[in-house]
Amino acid sequence: MNNFIWHCPTKLIFGKDTIQNTGKEISILGKKKILIVTGGGSVKRNGIFDTVIKSIEKENIEFVELSKVQPNPLYALVEKGIDIVKQNNLDFILAVGGGSVIDTAKAISIGCCLDKGQDLWEDIFMKEGVNITKTLGVGVILTIPATGSEMSTSTVITNIKKGFKRGYNSILNYPVFSILDPEVCYSLPAYQTACGASDILAHLMERYFSNTKNVDVSDRLIEADMNTILNYGPLAYNNPNNYDYRAEVMLAGTMAHNNMLSLGRQQDWASHWLEHELSTMYNVAHGAGLSIIFPAWMKYCWKENKMRFYQFATRVMGINLSLENDERVVESAILKLELWYKSMGLPTRLKDIDVKDSKDFELMATRALSGERIFAGHFKQLDHQDIINIYNLAL
């Protein structure tokens, strides 16, 4: 087990009707003029936005809204948000939505507090290991369990002009508070529920497939969370108004990405890097891209640490090790995972999203290793050709 420091300052507020406390939480912080970031309008159609606004107005908090955040959130909207904050002298950001909304809010929060001469995209998102010293601060009303951004250090943004999708991690990206009310998930489309479950599982697998030895505590915790999402993801998909199913998925998503399950172990993240290029090139939903990439990554990388994959096969996927050979055990685990994706209507091959040839793979691999990146992943360090090979396996 590796040395570690874990510090998570996010105040987590979970349960029924908790969004009614939004204004009070902001008032406790002494904030009076805020930016509210929202998505495509669903929070207004389902009444969540009105509930939040009533709570805010009760505390005499002024607000300006930035709406129309889309999946694979765009850098151009981040720039617009930064301008709004500066022009209106706002002092806090409230994200009401899913991961794309939260990541947009985090990026705005960073961009408002950079040193003079710093460029948010070139100096923060495109460089490795850069430390920021200040953010404006973000509060969250989570509406889509998926990215775990409600209690994580990360933000991921797509820059269409530059042709890149990039993430930035900092302890200052942790939201000040996050409100999780499972009832707000009832109106989610089934496909969003499926993509969210896929994303949650991917966050767990990125941590689980590690070569670090003697990490049984976090192994067992990750396995419990993976089994939870494997069980309750399809249940929530098929029973959207069941509070208990939604609650299990929502908490599993938060636990998957708040870094508690990363303690003492090296993580991988190659599949996320490869998926970022997939969603940039083809505009596929992140969770759907991951359901395509992860099985291909597994097929390509499992021999790097066979025992890790046997453990996954038996403890998580319930595969019997008495099968005739090593490869059959792993094949059975991957097939069972693919069937899980398919049970919720997710793609498992590039052809499922109408990608029928490899003409873009060279460019995608080049972009995946652009900037200061030398290789992708740690379970197996993937070079340019490895990445192309994985994309080809996914066809």
Domain assignments of the chain as residue spans, ordered by start:
11-184, 196-393
pLDDT for 50: 94
Q: Is this model's pTM higher than 0.95 or not?
A: no
- Work out whether the CA dihedral 264, 270, 272, 276 comes out positive or negative: positive
Architecture category of domain 11-184 in CATH: 3-Layer(aba) Sandwich (3.40)
Residue 185 CA: distances (Å) to CA of 95, 224, 301: 16, 23, 35
Reported as a single tens digit per residue, the pLDDT across 297-350 is: 999 999 999 999 999 999 999 998 776 688 899 999 999 999 999 999 999 999
DSSP-assigned beta bridge partners for residue 141: 96, 179
What is the C-alpha end-to-end distance of the chain, expressed in Å? Answer: 37
Whole-number percent of the chain with pLDDT over 70: 99
Instruction: Tell me which architecture the domain covering 196-393 has in CATH.
Output: Up-down Bundle (1.20)
Q: Check: CB of residue 87 under 8 Å from CB of residue 67.
A: no
**Residue range 46-101, pLDDT digits in tens:** 899 999 999 999 999 999 999 999 988 999 999 999 999 999 999 999 999 999 99
pLDDT for 324:
65
Our CA angle for 231, 233, 238, nearest 5°, is 105
Cα gap 129→127, rounded to integer Å? 7
The parts of the chain modelled with pLDDT lower than 50 are none
pLDDT of residue 322: 75
